[in-house]
């Protein structure tokens, strides 16, 4: 059996609906992007949402409007995709790496507090693989030290923290719409916030800071001469992508439910494999299960990479656990020691999980995992 590692959920309606957008003649950023922003904001309980080309550009724009620039520091977890740190670098600032909570794999608020200096401008908690970080503690840190909070919520649409939707609490939250995330627009990102003035500036900045939108110019009854009061970027989503995003939002509740069902099946089985440890979900959080991360321990009779290699030979692709950015060559100048992050990056495997995964496929994954992780021990 060949089991995909990840696969977006598509209903079959998407092609015809995207074709309607193409037939309209408006394929770049236009009315569908605005409709998608409104629907996304409503879904997460935010006043505003601003669509971008990716979560990376969303993070870059979010940091920029928070005033982050050369000489500033942004505290981030090292245990994250490299885009978290790259977005800081793209603003000319310095990412400062802090350690994680070993149980949740999320940035540890105490470690973040220890990393604060007079140059700290922002703390960026990451809701790792869709598990909400301890937001009340981060918001408290921000208030006490006068530091902004920008959430890397790439995997977290639909997640909740103490009953509140991720995307509705902090000043700015940034989501990913890559095919490996909970919902997709192919490529894309979204910023959610509650300040309409900041949202207006973000919409301008994503279009080279032009002071009038394409939608407004094309619907104008008189000549419009635009101006550019500041410098910006081209980070615009297209209406074709937005139409796909609207379709995906309609399926979001089902996707989240199905991911949870599959994750619970995994956890129930993995509790019976002594060499593996299932992920946790704290009482304060409801996670999206964007990925299923299983941790190997000293009882595993083979190495983690060897286990991944054997599973791949069985037709089961896996991925290493979340990377540690400070151990990558691109950030070799980071001289930090983060034991919890380094252990998680070394010991975690991500198993296949996607909404349309069948129980037969999942049972095959579990059977092969048990064969290599248990039978080998004998």
Catalytic residue annotation:
181
328, two tokens: 């990558």
Edge to edge, what strands does the sheet with 160-161 contain?
Answer: 164-165, 160-161, 285-286
Report the alpha-carbon distance of residue 284 to residue 319 in Å, rounded.
28
Extract the tokens encoding 163: 């009953």
Q: What residues pair up with 271 in beta bridges, in sequence order? A: none
Residue 132 contacts residue 109 (beta carbons within 8 Å): no
171-187: b or e for each residue (b if 16 or more CB lie within 10 Å)? Answer: bbbbbbbbebbbbbbeb
Separation in Å, CA 82 to CA 66, 299, 329, 341:
21, 31, 11, 14
155 contacts 291 by C-beta, under 8 angstroms? yes
Tell me the longest C-alpha to C-alpha distance in the chain: 80
Contacts of 284 (CB under 8 A, 6+ apart): 132, 134, 161, 162
Q: Is the dihedral of CA 96, 333, 101, 281 positive or negative?
A: positive
């Amino acid at each position: 059996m060949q089991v995909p590692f990840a696969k977006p959920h598509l209903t079959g309606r998407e092609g015809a609906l995207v074709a309607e957008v193409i037939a309209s003649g408006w394929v770049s950023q236009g009315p569908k992007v605005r409709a998608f922003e409104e629907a996304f904001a409503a879904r997460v309980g935010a006043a505003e949402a601003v669509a971008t080309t990716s979560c990376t550009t969303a993070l870059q724009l979010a940091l920029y409007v928070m005033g982050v620039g050369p000489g500033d520091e942004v505290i981030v977890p090292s245990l994250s995709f490299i885009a978290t740190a790259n977005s800081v670098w793209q603003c000319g600032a310095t990412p400062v790496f802090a350690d994680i909570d070993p149980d949740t794999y999320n940035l540890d608020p105490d470690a973040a507090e220890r990393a604060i200096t007079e140059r700290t401008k922002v703390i960026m908690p990451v809701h790792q693989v869709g598990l909400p970080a301890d937001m009340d503690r981060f918001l408290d840190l921000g208030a006490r030290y006068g530091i902004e909070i920008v959430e890397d919520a790439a995997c977290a649409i639909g997640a909740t923290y103490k009953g509140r939707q991720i995307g509705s609490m902090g000043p700015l939250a940034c989501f990913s719409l890559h095919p490996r995330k909970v919902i997709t627009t192919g490529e894309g990102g979204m910023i959610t916030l509650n300040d309409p003035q900041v949202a207006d500036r973000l919409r301008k900045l994503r279009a080279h800071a032009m002071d009038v939108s394409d939608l407004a110019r094309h619907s104008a009854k008189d000549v419009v001469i635009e101006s550019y009061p500041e410098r910006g970027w081209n980070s615009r989503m297209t209406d074709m992508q937005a139409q796909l995003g609207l379709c995906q939002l309609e399926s979001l509740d089902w996707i989240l439910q199905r991911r949870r069902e599959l994750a619970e099946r995994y956890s129930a089985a993995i509790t019976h494999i002594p060499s593996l440890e299932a992920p946790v979900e704290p009482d304060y959080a409801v996670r999206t299960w964007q990925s299923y991360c299983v941790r190997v321990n000293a009882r595993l009779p083979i190495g983690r990479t060897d286990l991944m290699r054997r599973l791949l030979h069985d037709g089961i692709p896996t991925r290493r656990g979340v990377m540690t950015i400070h151990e990558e060559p691109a950030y070799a100048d980071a001289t930090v020691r983060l034991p919890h992050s380094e252990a998680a990056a070394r010991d975690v495997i991500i198993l296949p999980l996607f909404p349309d995964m069948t129980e037969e496929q999942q049972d095959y994954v579990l059977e092969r995992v048990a064969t290599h992780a248990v039978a080998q021990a004998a």
